[in-house]
Structure 1
Amino acid sequence: PRAREILEREARAVARPLTVHTPIVAAEAQGSTITDVDGNTFIDFVGGVGVMNVGHGHPKVVQAIAEQTERFVHTDFTVVAYELYVDLAERLGGLVPISGETRGAFFNAGTEAVENAVKLARLYTGRDAVIAFEGAFHGRTLLALTMTSRTHPYKAGLGPFASEVYRAPFPSSYRGPDSKTALAALERMFSTHVPAEHVAAVVFEPQQGEGGFIPAPPAFVEGLRRICDERGIVLIADEVQTGFGRTGRMFAMEHFDVEPDLITLAKSIAGGLPLSGVIGRAAIMDHAHPGAIGGTFIGNPVALAAAGAVLDVFEEEDLVARASIIGDVLRARMLEWQGRWPRIGDVRGLGAMLAIELVEDPVTKTPAPDLAVAVIEAALQRGLLLLKAGVHGNCIRVLCPLTISDGELEEGLDAWEEALGAVAGE
């Protein structure tokens, strides 16, 4: 097969850490399917790891990219400005769940957005320390990697890490702790690890992504807001994976009666092109001195044009509502599976951002990462792309395009069900 030939070349030419997780080499992708170089077509429940919420090759996004490429590709916004940047900052400022005046800044990747959000918080507060959470994933650059909570494959051998990063427990309805215990541990840190007056920011995911699709309980998010308000700490919501309709709201923070101070965005913001951003309160965003945040390629005009088209598609096709419908279908099937296969220990998530957690035994809850790998491989043989998650790699998550048809969704779930039956047994 041609894919095998290309992957043999890949092994000789591409750095080993970038090992490809499937034997698929893409030739074309449309909507919710990917066709490989050998003509095999797969239903995509991975979506480029949460990037393709509007689907592969959406005509409006493709058109916006093509038209902007003909106008100009790059100037560096801080040298020669362009209206696309202003347009997106205005539109997102009106969409994010932050009241009052907002400002926006755009970058390339989610990890850049997180790093720059922390910079902004540090400059605004005059403090150094950052609190992140167990199970978190915030990126792979130095500060974001320090904030990330997983040794293998992300952190092992890559120290020393950034200083003044502290880690608190994140609540889980399945494994614990509960919100009250997690919040008490966070407040205890101010006596045992870092004084509150040294903390610039608390950074959290409204629903953890790589950590295993663990939604933050409302009481926990409300508690974070209270703690930050009482101590003058900036609350940063990392919505890199949860943003843009994935959870059945445009932004996951809309599930809570809480406003963050800053929101980081990326992944599905630009229909597959590299773009990220920080949207936040004007007082915080404007406090930094010129040059404190930036970069040559920040807010590329082609990516910004794509992002504008993505927002248009969300409005015209009502994809936020569609995410809730997809989520209902997914949850119903997953709960049905859990009733048949007790090694599905938990079904969880918000909207269309759902996962199953696989365990060796439902009582001990011992993680079953090998079972997750086997199910993913069996699903691939049946034409379905799936991806694992979780600190132990024992969760299987769904990040399918929100444009997926009812038929493709059911076909994908049928393939997943067959894979579970083949691996876990009837």
Structure 2
Amino acid sequence: FIDEIDGIGKRAEQQRSSDAESNRIINQFLAEMDGFDGASGVLVLGATNFPNSLDPALVREGRFDRSIAVGLPGLNDREALFRLYAGKIRAEQDLDFAQLARNTVGLTPAAIAYIANHAALLAARGGASEVSMAHFVDAVETCRIGEQPSGVTPMSPTDRKRIAVHEAGHALVAAALKVGRVEKVTILPRGQALGVTLVTPVEDKRLHMESELRNRIQMLLAGRGAEQLYFHEVSSGAGQDLQEASKIALSMVGALGMGPNGSLLSLQAVRDAHIEFDSGESIRAADNLLKQLDRDCMALLQRLKPALDEIAERLLAEETVPGEEVLAAIERLPEMHHEASVSSIIGHAMSSIDRVAASAVDNAQFLDLAPVEQPEDDGPGML
């Protein structure tokens, strides 16, 4: 059994001197595989998360000639896995396995095993005789967004206010555009993040519409947009959000035929054909898409401003706000009800608020205001 077999590499058709060693490794590996005869009793298995990175010669008949796709567990599979692992620890009998399965879309069986073990650890730390649902919920959050760091340096009131506004922007736009289920929003640090908005998919999906991807980009841009709206200046904390938004925009333009320029050309097909190609046009198209969605996001945030004020103030006072309260803040805005009813009639409108029927995307989104590493002599704080 050879795990991560894509690490062996892939031979380049236009060989460079730097590829020589990689080519020798692959050629020798192929020779070893061809050395087995039918009566040797040797079965060779390989595993990879990147099947497209394998050398074509590896997957020809007589070598790795059978491919078995092992996908992520579905809703029922995750529920069964939670029941399995909960049975191996001293857990309460009334655990809501269905809810745990709904909150762990996109997680692997190994991650679910980790959650059960971590829940048991949390119960032991707290001196509990049994592992409760609360322990499992905390363990799910730890798996998704990291541990709560210890010994955190207190933030200045200015930074704390900015983080509250940033996270409130993410949460409200995610809820308004129905990107997913907003579980919670907090300004408590988790992992490397200074604040977190936890958004989980409402269902397992394999196909995503253009409107869903556009809404997802707006959700990613909303933290930065909220900062701009409040402080008329953005911080470096939105760097990770911009990176994720750019990835989606580039995929839409260069792979999915969803760009504003109407191009249906796949950049991957161009690379596979070894054709010289200037990617500048695709980059400009992705940038234009991001700018357009940023304008839509800012317009939506303007309409959500009263709710943004409310959630930001609650975060400053309580540090964590449940997702239900985020939805309630939006529902108290009469203009949002009007926008939603109009969108169901228009059918095909350009404004992003007209796409409120969008559903969730691949995995849970952790929209964090990330600190930026800075030179040692600059002192504490964010750049």
Q: TM-score range, shorter-chain basis?
A: under 0.3
Of structures 1 and 2, the larger Rg is shown by 2
TM-score scaled by length of structure 2: 0.26
Structure holding more helix per residue: 2
